[in-house]
Structure 1
Amino acid sequence: MTTHVGSLVRPAAILEMIIDDLVGIPLDREAFDALVARCVKDVVARQAEVGIDIPSDGEFSKPDFHNYVVKRLGGLEVQTTQRRSIGATGMYYPKLAEEFPGFMQQYGDMYRTMWLPEELSREKIAQALKVAVPLTTVTRPITYEGQDELKRDLDNFAAALAPHDFADAFVPAATPSRSDSFSDEVYSSEEQYLYALADAMAVEYKAIVDAGYLVQLDLGLPSRNQVLHGKTNPSIEDLRRASEMHVEAYNHALRDIPTDRVRYHLCWGSMNTPHTTDVPLTEFVEMILKINAKYYVLEGANPRHEHEWMVWKDVKLPDDKVLVPGMVSHQTNVVEHPELVSWRIQNYASVVGRERVVAGTDCGFSQGWTMQRVHEEVQWAKLKALADGAALATKALWG
């Protein structure tokens, strides 16, 4: 079986409208919705064509995989005079910038735009990057108010899936993890705010599952080099405490959803960077297994983590869980050979069993409009190689 992590490269026409909206050109909502509906049909058909068994809608309606919920959550007020700059990677990865200053500076100057379609206005792109992500403040208790947008997404996906015979389908959803500012008058602690977000996002998760789809949550556990609650060099214990609190909140949000309809995605950050400060899987694998999910979507093609299939020789995968390791990378335009994909699949099958492996990708190919990781042509070649490699592994494992 084959799948991926969710986001796919957005068509230029969708990107153009997203960018126009960011720079202040009024969005024709009816035209945008019609465009997204057509493009979702096309991208689902293309996934069927290349051999993906469990597709997504590509997240085409969303400007990114996480901050789209700003428009869906009541209680968040956008600070129009303050924006969070989308700039060099060093602001998010200070330890990595310290270790590789020249690389991070050069990479930071181009990684946001290097694979955006050539027909898009570079001037508008530059303006949109300056607008960046708005800072938000919690002004009242958090509620979920995105039912209309969510229904539109689910209906588009259903229409796109109808002509095809997929094994299943999934919809990624933002996790209840945000760094908004709030006063004691609204929430007395970070934990209280986290659980309020969990209660609100539970509405979206349940609607996705009730519509017949798998829901996928992402918990990108912090790397040692990232900023964590103001700490530029958090200890492993800092990381563990923060992550454990989030795991508990995620389970709270998933409390009314059958475990076998939940996918959990873990990555070490999707950047095409050295990854020398990534926390090894062995240091938190027992903790993530506490998440109430059946499918664990993990990086397996990233050369910093490819060897970690061997972790499962020593760590028993619970009987009710399935691994979905990345067999192709979203970080490089090198297209993996199907024989390599087959070999990687067989490595995992050798330690957890052939029935408990689904072939996936390391992360999304374009987690946001500024996060396109490869050229669109390469994306489809990689997904075709994934399907071809899975076919080879099936023959090898079943005969």
Structure 2
Amino acid sequence: MLYSLVELNRAAMAPIRLAARAGRAALNSPLNPMGQTSYGKSLSAMADVFESATRYYGKPEWRINSVRINSIDVPVTPEAAWRSPWCGLIHFRKDAERLAAARRKNAAPLPRMLIVAPLSGHYATLLRGTVEGFLETHDVYITDWTDARMAPVWLGRFDLDDYIDHVRRMLTHIGGGAHVLAVCQPGPPVLAAISMMAEEEDAALPASMTFMGSPIDARRSPTVPNKLAEERPFSWFEQNMIYTVPGPYPGVLRRVYPGFVQLASFMNMNWNRHVDAHWKFFNHLVDGDGDNAGKHREFYDEYLSVLDLTEEFYLQTIRRVFQEHHLPRGIYKYRRDRLVKPEAIRNVALMTVEGEKDDISGIGQTQAAHDICVNIPKDMQTDYIQPGVGHYGVFNGSRFETEIAPRVTQFTRRFTQPELEEAAAASSAKKKR
């Protein structure tokens, strides 16, 4: 019912939003003298804020066209390297000739990196800054998860174990010796996937794994979301967080955890900060400060774009990760019968990154990976806490660019195997032919 009410409200607001847009255009016209007055500028800014706050935000574009390497712009093309109904593997392919020129005839292929984006309400494009932070130094791939409201019911289920399967399939496609970087939610399933690959001595086993702001063990330094998951019974999440997708979406009748519910939860955690941001946005518009207004638009255009999660994926994550803590307790069972054994990992380097002010995954939750991967040699482990940043700052922003990304790059370089990179490059070229 809630989903239908939200869609009805969106439809009802459409004429008002169009009127606001038309009014703003009229006030900004150079032929309208009122638009140059303080009153006119305030009315225009008010219309702009209203239209932005009530707009429907679809899936954003990547908007990554090039990367600058050694003062040379190298064209970049995001393209699907592998796809299933539930996920696309996006490869940020660089122009080979320009890349060779930029690297000054360095023939060694760039190390491959798989960024596993969270399936927790936002699109993978929220990690645009993360991708850009590694494009110069890595051959970057990223997971692009499907919005559950766009998945017809005949596709069947997609649960936490299916997520693990997808991570394994994508690593197999990329090839052994790659580097995996999991941001936030993917931490536990990625660690489970690599644990099983290590136990099987899978040829596609990555060379390193980096976890950033991940709830490997949500019992440590519990935050507001962690406490909510602990305090509420599982039945509460079943009854209050799951809704049915209405028409005309392709996923009509699918049971989902809607992205707008997750977004409302995140915004309520920092409500005053969001109100203040929109008030500043209003003042920037009145003052004609296009740079700061543009930064606000760029952030919120991404932040307000959300996707839905399948019922089974969301509820399994609540139970296994946030309520019963299966992985750190050593009781996670894949498909209910195979025990996941992180102690099987011996030859995959481990790095954890946390933010000092993270209010989503508290200090220690990501570090827990070191405690459960007991057989990784100490000289293959690295832990880093970034001072002064919250959850978002762990994978985006100026401190990520200048302090975190360089440390991760230095870490992956230590464990890059040139012969595997050359084999992977040859395999990729063969696939394209």
Same fold (TM over 0.5): no
Shorter chain as denominator, the TM-score bin is 0.3 to 0.5
Say which structure is richer in helix.
2
Rg larger for: 2
With normalisation by structure 1, the TM-score equals: 0.33
With normalisation by structure 2, the TM-score equals: 0.31
